[in-house]
Chains A and B, each alone.
Chain A
Amino acid sequence: MSLTTDVSQAAAGTAAGKGSRKHGRGSGSAMQVPRRRPRHRRERIFQWLFLVPAVVYMALFFGYPVAKNVVMSFQDYTTATFFTGEAPWVGLANYVTVLSSSLFSTSLLNTALFTVGSILGQFVIGLALAVFFRRKFPLNGILRSLLLLPWLLPLIVSSAVWRWILDKDSGALNRFLGDLGIIDTGIPWLTSTSLALIAVVGVNIWIGIPFNLTILYGGLQEIPDELYEAGSLDGATGWRAFWHITWPMLRPVVSVVLVLGVVYTLKVLDIILGLTNGGPANSTQTIATQSYALSFHEFKFGEGAALGNVLVIISLVFAVLYLRASRRAVDE
């Protein structure tokens, strides 16, 4: 059986079945290497050799910090602890303090709004741009690479520039809107409790678009043109082609982009601190910024670690969802 026919059959199968992966990938999914009893052991060792460097690397760099952070959240860890090493065990007291503080419900809500808003904006715009850039036109490559610039700039620079752009009195955005005649007086983007979170989400979307765009574009490039050709012969073009060909093939890439997006967005700290420092009046205070403030402004490291771990637990929920989804995809 020639390889050519193999791939085309798989390709045709996928296009014909409406996005169902059961047919097309049945023969091709990640599967068992044929067992050869005498070489079974060597097989396994070889397989683990591929994985061991990465596992060891991560254990070395992340194992101790993770463990330490968990332990710290159960201790009364102060600046003195850094010098003396003494940290009395307080059990769940830190968790109780942070979870029952009046600021927690605000931070939780802000975190949820910030994350949902950012992911929606970044992903939708990133996907739209990725699909757009699939078309061949002059300067496509260069323009697409230039769109990575927001991710490239140091955050201290991005936040300074955005603070100037969003300034109420002399910022470029308000000047532009004023020149167009849309507004009379400056909009207090960063100093109004109702607008600040929206402004911060907007800046985070701006930073996140290159990430989504580039990875989704790479994923789109993996989809063979033949599928679209076969599909167009069946009458699937434009939106239908997207829904029945692109979307199913893109699923693994989409899920990894979403889960990483959520994990990274939950952790976002520098851009919020740079833009508003969590203000005005805690309207942009998220769990991440609150954890940082507890540790490094108020020197209550135990509480900061506890709040940080709460964030990790929230991220874990998404991680588990991702693992379920990706395992199911592999098994089909």
Chain B
Amino acid sequence: MKSIRKTSRPLALAAAAMIGLPLAVSGCGTSTASSSEAVKEISVMDYYNNEPDKSFIGDALTSCGTQAGVTIKRETVPGKSLISKVLQQSSSKTLPDVLMLDNPDLQQIAATGALAPLADFKISTDNFAAGVLSAGTYKDKVYGLAPTVNTIALFYNKDILAKAGVTPPTTWDELKTAATKLTAGDQYGLAFNANPTYEGTWQFLPVMWSNGGDEKKIDTPETEQALQLWTELVKDGSVSSSALNWTQADVKDQFLAGKAAMMVNGPWQIPALDKEPSLQYGVVKIPVREAGQTAVAPLGGEVWTVPQTGNKARQAKAAEVVACLNSDEKQLSMAKARNTIPSKTTLADKFATENPKLATFTELIKTARARTGQLGEEWPAQATKIYTAIQTALTGNASPADALKQAQGQ
């Protein structure tokens, strides 16, 4: 029929557009070559999108920018969307001059070649805690430095514990006894986060690592003992089974409302806890299995990096800003403002004295361990296995040993 030829023309047009437009569009827009004119402005991307962190970091960035003689153009994105944005910018070659990354993601991104080694810009890495350097290093080169870091510990409600005649536990047995004793009515003894995300894995790492467990292979007796502890706490009823769904923010809400006598959480919750005047809390390290073992805590916090933008002048300025953010002065001021811990071990004593509420955390940072320290880019897969095993064991679907074996084998 004559009409076939006519009607197929628009279809052909559409097909051409389908292929043509992306080709045409990808042709334009290339990254600028390095220019010899002075750099006036550099771009920064981070995930401190909510107050008060947004202003604290913003002020630090502005001040460092002024020192380096540039203005800062800043983009803040919600936490969960940062990596998507980084990937989009990688493929369109529009990475910012300074990029903040959550420390367990650094090695993943460094492996793509998108970041420049900080040694290229002569940025000193002296006196940083071992865990911080371990997180920021990929194939023996340091790609990112964190000015402040954090970890998790055991918060306890002083009044509730005093009334029940319980002292803050230091070993697993003491923890189990205390938690059982403190569970009464609608109050649970302990609250922690065991949800099927990396947060659940994060909260489990202290008991796993302190006992000698290894994240490379999780179906070992040491890790099994740790998972046994977690399972028994839930089975005994000292920890609500809602822990399988809680985030760390939910755990804090439970503790604040008096529904949990103890909680595993981090120092960023302190402002919310302080807002409640009737709440008297204390912080101790998360208990170890036997007295004498070292409490090992996981390292949290964000690193600042200098992406490969192809413009040497801008990279140099970006490196200046990164170095400034990691200076002693900035570490102390940001840590105090944001309730985190400075990364340099030389500042630890001074900081702990001036901020007694953060003393336990400061102590823990000295021996804190980076999650990507051994596994690098392989960490995400292994972290998934850990929380899968936790969920399987805590729901009673399998014994801790079997849960770990199943998860490891996947």
Contact = CB atoms under 8 A, between A and B. Distances in A.
Contacts of B195: 277, 279
Contact of A44 (B6, B17, B84): B6
Interface in A24-76: 40-41, 44-45, 48, 51-52, 55-56, 59-60, 63-64, 67
B111 A80 contact: yes
Given A170-B259, A297-B380, A298-B381, A191 B108 contact: no
B197 interface: yes
A190 interface: yes
Interface string A71-104: 0000000111011110000000000000001110
Contacts of A51: 10
A277 B14 CA distance: 40
B384 A298 contact: yes
Contact of A279 (B14, B244, B259): B244
Nearest to B195: A277
A193 interface: yes
Nearest to A68: B22
Interface in B220-265: 240-245, 259
A286 to B, nearest CB: 14
B133 to A, nearest CB: 22
B112 A84 contact: yes
B91 interface: yes
Interface stretch (B62-70, B208-216, B312-320, B391-399): B391-399
Contact of A280 (B6, B15, B22, B391): B391
B90 A83 contact: yes
Contacts of A282: 196, 388, 391
B380 A298 contact: yes
Contact of A169 (B6, B10, B240): B240
Interface residues of B, number: 48
A277 B197 contact: yes
Interface residues of A, number: 46
A135 to B, nearest CB: 42
A64 B22 contact: yes
Contacts of B392: 281
B162 interface: no
A167 B410 contact: no
A45 B13 CA distance: 14
B10 A48 contact: yes
A304 B187 CA distance: 42
A276 B196 CA distance: 8
Nearest to A280: B244
Nearest to B243: A191
A68 to B, nearest CB: 9
Contacts of B259: 169-170
A299 interface: yes
A126 interface: no
A57 to B, nearest CB: 10
Contact of B17 (A63, A167, A278, A279): A63
Contact of B18 (A41, A63, A168, A190): A63
Interface string B379-410: 01100100010011011010000000000001
Contacts of A59: 14-15, 17-18
A41 B6 CA distance: 8
A277 B11 CA distance: 42
22 contacts: A51-B10, A52-B13, A56-B17, A59-B15, A59-B17, A59-B18, A60-B17, A64-B21, A79-B108, A83-B113, A85-B91, A167-B242, A168-B240, A191-B242, A277-B196, A278-B196, A279-B245, A281-B196, A281-B391, A296-B83, A297-B380, A298-B384
